[in-house]
Amino acid sequence: MSDQVLKVVVRKREEQGDGVVVLDLADPLGQPLPAFEAGAHVDVHLKPGLVRQYSLCGDPAQPLAYRLGVLKDPASRGGSLAVHELLLEGREIEISAPRNHFPLAPDARRSILIGGGIGITPMVAMAYALNARDSDFELHYCARSRSRSAFLEELGNAAFAPRLHTHFDDEADAQKLDLAKVLGSPQAGVHVYVCGPAGFMDWVIAQAIAQGYADDHVHREYFQIDVDASGAGFEVHAARSGKTVQVAEGQSIVEALGAVGIKVEISCEQGVCGTCLCDVLEGEPDHRDVYLTDEEKQANDQILVCCSRAKSKKLVLDI
Ligand code: FES
* Residues 86 and 114 both lie in one domain: no
- 305-308-312 Cα angle (round to 5): 105
**Best mutation site among 273, 305, 317 for ligand 1, i.e. most ligand atoms within 8 A of its Cβ?**
273
Q: Is the dihedral of CA 212, 215, 221, 225 positive or negative?
A: positive
In a domain, 228, yes or no: no
> How crowded is residue 92: how many other Cβ atoms within 10 Å of its Cβ?
10
Contact in structure between 33 and 64 (CB atoms under 8 Å): yes
Residues 6+ apart with CB under 8 A from 43: 51, 52, 53, 95, 96, 99, 267, 273, 275
Q: Which atom of ligand 1 is nearest to the CA of 265?
A: 1
- 140-212-101 Cα angle (round to 5): 55
Å from CA of 137 to ligand 1 middle: 32
Q: How far is CA 300 from CA 40, 56, 295, 308, in A?
A: 26, 31, 9, 12
Å from CA of 79 to ligand 1 middle: 14
Q: Which residues line ligand 1 (CB under 6 A)?
A: 266-269, 271-276, 289, 291, 304, 306
Q: Which atom of ligand 1 is nearest to the CA of 274?
A: 3
Contact in structure between 214 and 240 (CB atoms under 8 Å): no
**Best mutation site among 269, 297, 319 for ligand 1, i.e. most ligand atoms within 8 A of its Cβ?**
269
Phi, psi of 207 (to 5 degrees): -65, -40
**What residues make up the domain containing 23?**
5-96
Protein residue closest via CA to atom 3 of ligand 1: 271
Q: Give me the CATH number covering residue 154.
A: 3.40.50.80
In order along its 319 residues, the chain shows pLDDT tens digits of: 456 899 999 999 999 988 899 999 999 999 999 999 999 999 899 888 788 889 999 999 988 999 999 998 776 667 888 899 999 999 999 999 998 889 999 999 999 999 999 999 999 999 999 999 999 999 999 999 998 899 999 999 999 999 999 999 999 999 999 999 999 999 999 999 999 988 899 999 999 999 999 999 999 998 766 667 788 999 999 999 999 999 998 899 999 999 999 999 887 788 887 889 999 999 999 999 878 877 889 999 999 999 999 999 999 999 9
Q: Give me the CATH number covering residue 59.
A: 2.40.30.10
Buried b (16+ CB within 10 A) or exposed e, 281-311: eebebbbbbbbbeeeebeebebbbbbbbbbe
Q: End of a domain among 39, 65, 96?
A: 96
In a domain, 205, yes or no: yes
pLDDT at 1: 42
**Best mutation site among 255, 287, 304 for ligand 1, i.e. most ligand atoms within 8 A of its Cβ?**
304
Å from CA of 292 to ligand 1 middle: 11
Residues counted in the chain? 319
* Residues 256 and 289 both lie in one domain: yes
pLDDT at 244: 96
In a domain, 227, yes or no: no
Å from CA of 198 to ligand 1 middle: 17
Å from CA of 275 to ligand 1 middle: 5
Q: End of a domain among 164, 196, 222?
A: 222
Q: End of a domain among 188, 222, 256?
A: 222
Å from CA of 134 to ligand 1 middle: 36
Å from CA of 273 to ligand 1 middle: 5
Å from CA of 131 to ligand 1 middle: 33
Q: Which atom of ligand 1 is nearest to the CA of 272?
A: 3
